[in-house]
Chain A
Amino acid sequence: MQVLAQLTLNGIAVGAIYALVALGLVLIYKATEVLNFAHGDLLVVSAFSAWGLITVLGLPFWVAVLLVIVAVSALSYALDACVIRRIAGQPQFAGVMLTIALAFMLRGLVSMVAGPEARNYPTPFTGQHSSLAGVAIGHLQLVILGVTLAVTVGFFLFFRHTRLGVAMQAASQNQLAAYLNGIRVKRVNSLVWALAGACAAVAGVLLAPITLVDLTLWFVTLKALAALVLGGFGSVPGAIVGGLLIGLIEQYAGVYLPDGSKDVAAYLVLIAVLVIKPTGLLGEAHGRRV
């Protein structure tokens, strides 16, 4: 029972990160119909720059986090405004290839600047635990949960109650109609990329202390894809639910299923969902259009 509670807690903490990453992916997908394979590398960039700011320059944690968020949002805005925008109107596959190319370039740049070896940086919560009924609760896990909750609620309010948020929804539903209503679609799309970049920065800064600051952080994109598919592709609440579920499934699989199944559990879920129920849990049901 205690093991189960501990696993659930760990699963929710990891799942919250997956949910954040999936949230960034789904924002970009809904706005520009590009599946951003470079999203994980934005996480890598933010983790490495957080390491640089905290360990090398010696800035306080929160200042570093703020700087990283601003910088990665700007990078993400620039990626859309300078590169991704040029392939609008080409087949979806072109977007996949272009973001894979960007992912390679970002990863190459990071390892050229910082070196490929793994490292770590201290946070104010590293190594601090509370105990509740025999379950160890790391303060970092609590922070992750809190931040994810805050980001989710923030996005909900933003998309529901601000002019820019509504404009973003409009542009993602029908670009031409939005443009005719006076929305600057290109700029709005780039701003969506910036938002997603901020999401990736938060996720990267929070994920790195759990794992390590390492180039393999980008693999979280693939987990987030599984989360997206499980929750229903293109659905924002689905991304959150899917992320949490994938986190839980992984933790349970690591203990209750045979050796080695923790690493593949997310991918098995992805295949199973796509084959059995391609719309996912919360996805919009839609017919085929020819």
Chain B
Amino acid sequence: MHFDYHTRYRQGFALLQRPGERISYGLLMALLLVMPAFLSPFFLGELSYVFILCVASLGLMFLTGYTGQVSLGHAAFLAIGAYAHAWFLARGLPWPISLPLAALLTATVGVLIGVPAIRVSGLYLAMVTLAFSIIIEHLIGQWSSVTGGFTGMAVEDPKILGWSVSGPAGFYYTCLFVLVTVLLGLLNVLRSATGRALIGVRDSEAAAYALGIHVQGYKIAAFGVSAGVCGLAGGLLAHHLKYLTPDGFTLLLSLELVLMVVIGGLGSLRGAILGAVLISLLPTAISRLKPLLPPGLANQFGLEIFVFGLVLAVFVLFEPGGLNARWLKLRALLQSFPLYRRDTFKRNKRYMKSERYR
């Protein structure tokens, strides 16, 4: 089994902690890069969608998993990013400027929401963000001069260097590029002093404050970054959907994002990606499995949402650490194979701890 053995201070922050990681991540990257040569356009589209959701899930993980601020309304930021990007494109801005601009706008909205929202925490914050996302959904429906209202608005399909952005392969590489950029960016933020400050705010606001960390400022900044990343994902989602309506950004999408983060395992970027992959592939998997089920069950409307709930309940009850914890356990089992002890990851019994007065 591998133990961390550092001979220099800087080793603790290294992006790649283990010797084998360079090879395995390199192989994964190479595999993802050659995908378009083997997959049909349909599966490429599905994979691009998975990447987009991964980006959004990373954005939410930054806020919920690392800063401890629960948000049940991140679909609103996706919506703002998507509509802003589509609107900028329709005004004739080139694609490489429009997308960052949309992300920047979303980040600004995030900061504007964050300033009042961080006055409350925990459940209250969850409710504020929930209400915010419902208001944004209605606002998009009403503000038809910009958003097209409930009839929706079409997203233009620009070309960069002769490549259509929303062609299957081009879009796949675009999404992959954005995902890798966002992932590397967040990894680097999280291993810096800023990242440790955020984790400090999550674990104990009072202790962080006592250590001289500007708690309010970090919370607002985390809100902004998280919103910006989700805005980026929203911009890409606009190309995936090709036609934007308020129905695409309902409460259900917000809850799906939270599902990804929780099922993946709070407090790990790997978890955000694993959760996004699982949740985005679940509907496809269910529709593939439907022919195998008895017809009485398979044709029922509502099977999908039931399975979503079941998966979430199973994870909350039996594996609160999510997919990431499961992965760590599996890795420990493989590495220490004959010597693995059953109780390595045994959870201690915990007693009721009130959060009522936090």
Which residues of A does B touch, CB under 8 Å? 33, 35, 83, 86-94, 96-98, 100-112, 115-116, 175, 222, 225-226, 229, 233-234, 259-260, 263-264, 267-268, 270-271, 274-275, 278, 286-290
Contacts and interface: CB of A to CB of B under 8 A. Distances in A.
A101 B309 contact: yes
Given A97-B262, A222-B130, A109 B306 contact: yes
Given A110-B302, A222-B131, 5 more contacts: A96-B70, A97-B316, A103-B309, A108-B303, A112-B300
B201 to A, nearest CB: 14
Contacts of B301: 111-112, 115-116
Nearest to B138: A264
23 contacts: A33-B354, A86-B317, A90-B350, A92-B122, A94-B320, A97-B258, A97-B262, A100-B258, A101-B312, A104-B312, A109-B302, A111-B305, A112-B306, A116-B301, A222-B130, A222-B131, A225-B130, A226-B131, A264-B135, A267-B134, A274-B127, A275-B128, A289-B358
A33 B356 contact: yes
B123 interface: yes
Contacts of B120: 274-275, 278
Contacts of B139: 264
Contacts of B312: 97-98, 100-101, 104
B309 A229 contact: no
B352 A88 contact: yes
State which size class the interface on B falls in. Answer: 35 or more
B353 interface: yes
B124 A96 contact: no
Contacts of A275: 116-117, 119-120, 128
B350 A105 contact: no
A105 B128 contact: no
A70 B358 CA distance: 36
B180 interface: no
Nearest to A289: B357
Contacts of A116: 301-302
A112 B310 CA distance: 15
B130 to A, nearest CB: 7
Given A86-B317, A107-B302, A287 B357 contact: yes
Nearest to B266: A93
B355 interface: yes
Nearest to B308: A104
Interface in B104-143: 116-117, 119-120, 122-124, 126-128, 130-132, 134-135, 138-139, 141-142
A231 B64 CA distance: 28
Given A92-B123, A112-B300, A175-B352, A104 B138 contact: no
Which 3 A-B pairs rank lowest in CB-CB distance, beginning with the nearest?
A108-B306, A104-B309, A111-B302
Contacts of A115: 301
Contact of B300 (A103, A111, A233, A263): A111
Contacts of B204: 290
A109 B308 CA distance: 12
B351 interface: yes
B46 interface: no
Contacts of B117: 275
Contacts of B126: 96
